[in-house]
Structure 1
Amino acid sequence: MRRLLFIAALLAGCGVNPLPVPPELGGEISGSTCLPCDGTIRVAGEPGSAKNADAVWLVNLDRQSEPLLVPVANDGSFEALMDALPGDEIRLQARRDELRSVPLDLVATVDAVLEPAARPLADCFVVEPELELDDATVGATSFATLTLSHDCDTSLTIDSIALRAPAPAFEIAAPVAPFVLAPGETTTVTIQLTPEAAGLVEEVLLIEVSSPEPDRRPVTLFGIAD
């Protein structure tokens, strides 16, 4: 025990800082219809819903509208008005500087209530929710691969792999959908980033499954252009 205390004191004396606490998103997040504005819903996070964050990023996965980045209040609450219709899926993420929370995917119901997005194949079709590509200078290209792991009992039919909205900086190099994965088979999706301007480049890749059950895997692609 004394040795551990000594090591901790030594590290503190050497100026070793603890790892930064990542943002978190949770608690009560609600939706309501905006009566004066047809086709718009109000997304609100109650106090404490966004922790260690200074902003929340929101994007409608079923529309090509621009994502929103709204500030987080001191009490951890936030509010946004966004274009959405019943059945649309919304991805939210708490952010602070370059740190990001695990994305949260919610679906707007007929009453604009937000419910967790259904993922019926979550136990056997595994895809990471984000993919960070290496930094690239403007006009140059970087590559990254996304692994699709399939452990379902029956074959998996992937109907499409496409960007939510046009984004010239990103290109899906391979494979070409539709295709079928046998039980236990994995494959990789190759993404390339060729930025046209400096700064953060970001878009959502949608992987749509039709069999054995309809399902979806959104993947946020992002990279920095120098």
Structure 2
Amino acid sequence: MAKGRILLVEDDQSLAELLTYNLEREEFEVEHTTDGDEALMLAQESPPDLVLLDWMIEGVSGIEVCRRLRRYPETANVPIIMLTARGEEPDRLRGFETGADDYVVKPFSPKELVARVGAVLRRVRPALAGEQLAYADIEMDIVSHKVKRGGETIALGPTEFRLLKHFLEHPGRVFSRERLLDSVWGRESDIEARTVDVHIRRLRKAINEGGRADIIRTVRSAGYALDSEDRL
């Protein structure tokens, strides 16, 4: 049984074939179109579980497709991930303001995109996603609360586990200390922002043991991200 139906709207045929291959390998059902008008028709006729939407496509633009999908009752709540070469902050903000749930800048790793798809589905439709999270050489089993890196089991405390889980659900995205406090500890928490630094250090120590590469990137004046340069 497929994990979910994905509508892929991408006019780069080679990229579409690569993404379709990787998604189908993860047991997703993929329907592909190169045209914005056809995408709107397909989505209304049979709403998918998620839309992968290129910004620059034939016919109606990707950003307009996103806007219209949010207007239609049948697709108002369907998650949308924008695919684009436009990486500037104003463009990202425009995508989110139009209704996109996530935003992936080209070029990107197919593995990262599959991870983003799984993360978005877990947030909005948990039953469609599996119980495994993975990025680079890190694997997390949510049910058994086990984490492995390079096949070796890693012992994490409850807070470090939640912190890593949050990063695995949003690979590559930078989160401020305040945002991490809201997402991992909860909005009602009275814990200070600097506490995040303490738990980041503990998490780094655990997952980097044995001289492994540091997969948690510190972004000065911004926060932290799970980001592997080689994206194994």
Q: TM-score, normalised by structure 2?
A: 0.29
Greater relative CO (CA pairs within 8 A, separation 6+): 1
Rg (Cα) greater in structure: 1
Greater fraction of residues in strand = 1
Q: TM-score, normalised by structure 1?
A: 0.30
Greater fraction of residues in helix = 2
